[in-house]
Structure 1
Amino acid sequence: MKKTRLAAIDVGTTKVCTIMADADEAGIRVLGVGVTPSRGLQKGMVVNLNEARDAIKRSVGMAEQSAGYKLDTATVSITGRHIHSTNNRGVVAISRREETVRPPDVARVLEVARNVTIPGDRRMLHLLPLAYTVDGQEGVKNPVGMHGFKLEVETHMVTASATSLENLVKCFKGAGVSVDEMIFSPLSSAEATLSTDEMQNGVVLADIGGGTTDIAVYKDGNIIHTSVLPVAGYQITHDISVGLGVSWELAEQIKMKYGSVFPIAGDSEEMLSEGGNSFPHSQLTEIIRSRLEEMVRLVLMEVPTEDYQNLLRGGMVFTGGSANLPGLAELGAEVTRLPVRVGMPPAMYGVSEKLNDPAFATAIGLIMWKANDRTGIPVKATAGPSEGGGKFLGLFRKK
């Protein structure tokens, strides 16, 4: 049974997570995990090359020690407000005598869709084929073998700042890691947390990290919109710090220990104490609820239609570290009137106990992405709602 080695590194504002694994027909087995505090990044962008490089190196070293071999190449995540997305079409004629769509025609129409003018300071990150049209017949998933004279494709194109890409690649190179592929974070998070039915019916994923909230909207099984909000867990901690008059570090401790959206039932005035400071639990929950309610509404504003209830019949899924705040799903349902749940990555075999948490959805999704894409093997896990997010065409172009 042939095994394929996989490696993924999620570099976020608050943590760096490295996963080393192998995959075969039986599924994915995690061999090594390294999680360290992140340094040198703000809102997904490198602000200190040396600090970011050292944080990546520490995370990789921990994973290598557990796995027992050296990590050379990895699939990595990227996010930040510099990432933009748009939908674009490509059209080609089928000129052969038999007028049958063949794989070279599909490659040609994707190349046409990709050949749009991109500013010199930007690079294409992904070109994701959504659906094909053959002689006016829309919604075709695989046109190969179909009879027709004209082939069209609708694509979702994601571009990123060339400077941001190159700075991140420098950090990995300095840590001794070659970048195999860069994946926009919400795409990998969706791979780990969304079901096929949700993607088909229409769903919005919001990955609330430390510095950004990454958004992906799916409909009819396809990604139709992605974006990044510059508000996330950091803003919640900041509000607690200001509201309670404590340091940012103590506010983070309070959030992790006592944070929730709703007061404790029957005792909303219970006094809490941390670091020599006392405050009512209701005050803390009011601060958290206000910020999270604003974030839920900001996510809704990113949905590309005002009739979001009709588009998002699959509802809303929250993941990321801040999705662990108790009551978030209930608050989301109250605000949106949609089905809302917290997206957990699937449990996997091996040394993966700490990964069964929304905070690691992106990292797990990176591994699943490569297992689905490179090996063509259906992902199997011991638990979790995900059925795999399918295959995408990922493109990372260097200068």
Structure 2
Amino acid sequence: MKTSLNKNICISLSLGSTHTSLVAASYENKDLQMSHDDLPFYEKESNRIQILGAARIANNGAIKKGVVSSIDAVTASILETIDEVERQSGIEIESVRACIAGTAAQFDNHVETCTIKGEEIRVSDLEKVSMAVRNQKPPMGFDFVHMIPSSYSVDGKHGIQNPIGMRGSTLSIMHHRVFYPQADLHNIVRSCNNAGVRVQSFAFEPLAAAEGVLTRDEKEFGCISLSIGAHLTHASVYLGNIPVYSKEYPIGSHHITKDLSIGLRTTQAEAERVKKEIGKAIETSSKDINEKIEISSIDGNAIRYVTRKEINQVIEPRVREILQTVYADLRRSRLIARTSKGIVLSGGGALLSGMTLATEEIFSLNARIGMPANIIGAIEGLKSPIWASSIGTLSPLFASVHGDNSLQQTEEISGISSFATKIWHRIKEPFASR
């Protein structure tokens, strides 16, 4: 029986606000993948990913806005997805990449610079700047989950992929760094540990969603990824193939459902149905706006009628709030003007009718719905924006804290060198019975 420790097999675990998802995959062309190991992650071929199995189950609020609310409940949801995917794929799952979210996470774009001693840049200079990056300390109470490198700069000249042999006096490299609270990481690792698996590395959900749906051109020429989940909205920006912005916002599509439940005086289940079947993010036509829609009362014992107009008058203000919150942040960061490829929407909230039109109106950029690409095999239901983060977590970018990156050409990075494994060794105990 194959195991998830096979280097050609990757398991992604996504811990969302309402669902826990697990995807088992292998790279279609192992030889091609391995022959490009000397390239940075953003220059590797986009090999198709063979999906071996996938499961998505409700976790009953075990994760609240990215924070574990019950280790036992999270463990139970992980076990359920593992059992289903093992049944589908015939793989014994022993390790996972964990996709995580949370508004407490922080990011920055850190530039590390070292002085060149000789006339030309040598391997030792690359080692020096790499070591300086790794010696950086995160804020107190946090740990790095990502340190993603861009290209090098030599004496202020940017975009250099391999500076060895070049003449210069200073060598710099920028890293997009994401910090996550240690306590929250501990609880995630503990939950996985209790389910009998270890965490190889983490994927921050704004970046995972982007990796799942953005094309290479979009990453190169500038693009915003906006993943609208149930309780969180995940935003990231790519420029020159590198993430430069990744942030969580504590508002999502569940807030639309809650507004409908209150405004229409009905249950949340009925409000969710109305949102999916009838709701629109933006009203573009007066046709049928006065059509009567049948809904059940809050006690479920009576029927009421509301118009489409009344439904959309509740939905549209919340949609605008979600989009304008992100827009205001990105405008302050002066990134919107640099994203010539527009916006790619994913997550369950992207499925709301008219969401692309509403996004284009707020941002004044082209928008599209992002579907996971380059996947083959057991993909029924996976070509949906709901699966963007789970598929994106399979990206080489998340092979370790430092990405699957060889800009530091003299140093191999092991997939188990991340904080995830270190904390796992600190807290490990006999696995829970399965």
Q: TM-score, normalised by structure 2?
A: 0.82
Aligned partner of residue 350 in structure 2, secondary structure = helix
Specify which of 379, 399, 402 is matched with residue 352 of structure 1: 379
Alignment of 1:220 onto 2:273? no
Corresponding residue number in structure 2 for 1:383: none
Corresponding residue number in structure 2 for 1:274: 295
Specify which of 336, 340, 355 is matched with residue 363 of structure 2: 336
Residue ranges of structure 1 left out of the alignment (5+ in a row): 377-392
Specify which of 298, 317, 323 is matched with residue 290 of structure 1: 317
Alignment of 1:69 onto 2:91? yes
In structure 2, C-alpha distance between the alignment counterparts of 1:304 and 1:129, rounded to whole Å: 24
Which deviates the most, 298-307 or 154-163? 298-307
Corresponding residue number in structure 1 for 2:299: none
In structure 1, C-alpha distance between the alignment counterparts of 2:139 and 2:336, rounded to whole Å: 36
Q: Percent identity?
A: 26
- Cα offset, 1:371, TM superposition: 9.2
- Report if aligned partners of 1:6, 1:371 keep a CA contact under 8 Å in 2: no
In structure 2, C-alpha distance between the alignment counterparts of 1:293 and 1:92, rounded to whole Å: 46
- Cα offset, 1:149, TM superposition: 2.9
- Report if aligned partners of 1:236, 1:291 keep a CA contact under 8 Å in 2: yes
Specify which of 241, 251, 254 is matched with residue 261 of structure 2: 241
- Cα offset, 1:361, TM superposition: 0.1
In structure 1, C-alpha distance between the alignment counterparts of 2:197 and 2:8, rounded to whole Å: 18
- Report if aligned partners of 1:3, 1:24 keep a CA contact under 8 Å in 2: no
- Report if aligned partners of 1:5, 1:22 keep a CA contact under 8 Å in 2: yes
Distance 1:328 1:261, change over 3 A: same
In structure 2, C-alpha distance between the alignment counterparts of 1:119 and 1:312, rounded to whole Å: 30
- Cα offset, 1:250, TM superposition: 2.2
- The aligned length equals 381
In angstroms, what is the RMSD of aligned CA positions?
2.5
Which deviates the most, 338-347 or 173-182? 338-347
Specify which of 23, 41, 45 is matched with residue 19 of structure 1: 23
- Report if aligned partners of 2:52, 2:89 keep a CA contact under 8 Å in 1: yes
- Cα offset, 1:330, TM superposition: 0.8
- Cα offset, 1:288, TM superposition: 1.6
Aligned partner of residue 237 in structure 1, secondary structure = helix
Alignment of 1:323 onto 2:350? yes
In structure 1, C-alpha distance between the alignment counterparts of 2:396 and 2:18, rounded to whole Å: 23
Aligned partner of residue 176 in structure 1, secondary structure = coil
Which deviates the most, 128-137 or 152-161? 128-137
1:91-111 Cα distance to aligned partner (Å, 9 max, x none) = 112334x62232x43343133
- Cα offset, 1:260, TM superposition: 2.0
Residue ranges of structure 2 left out of the alignment (5+ in a row): 1-5, 30-46, 297-302, 406-414, 424-434
Distance 1:252 1:267, change over 3 A: same
Which deviates the most, 250-259 or 237-246? 250-259
In structure 2, C-alpha distance between the alignment counterparts of 1:249 and 1:300, rounded to whole Å: 30
In structure 2, C-alpha distance between the alignment counterparts of 1:338 and 1:375, rounded to whole Å: 31
1:301-357 Cα distance to aligned partner (Å, 9 max, x none) = 221646555222221221111101111001111122111111111152111111110
Distance 1:19 1:122, change over 3 A: same
Corresponding residue number in structure 1 for 2:116: 94
- Cα offset, 1:262, TM superposition: 3.9
- Report if aligned partners of 2:155, 2:169 keep a CA contact under 8 Å in 1: yes
- Pairing 1:42-191 to 2, within 5 Å after superposition: 42-96=64-118, 99-102=120-123, 104-191=124-211
- Report if aligned partners of 1:34, 1:61 keep a CA contact under 8 Å in 2: no
1:370-399 Cα distance to aligned partner (Å, 9 max, x none) = 6988999xxxxxxxxxxxxxxxx9973245
Q: TM-score, normalised by structure 1?
A: 0.88
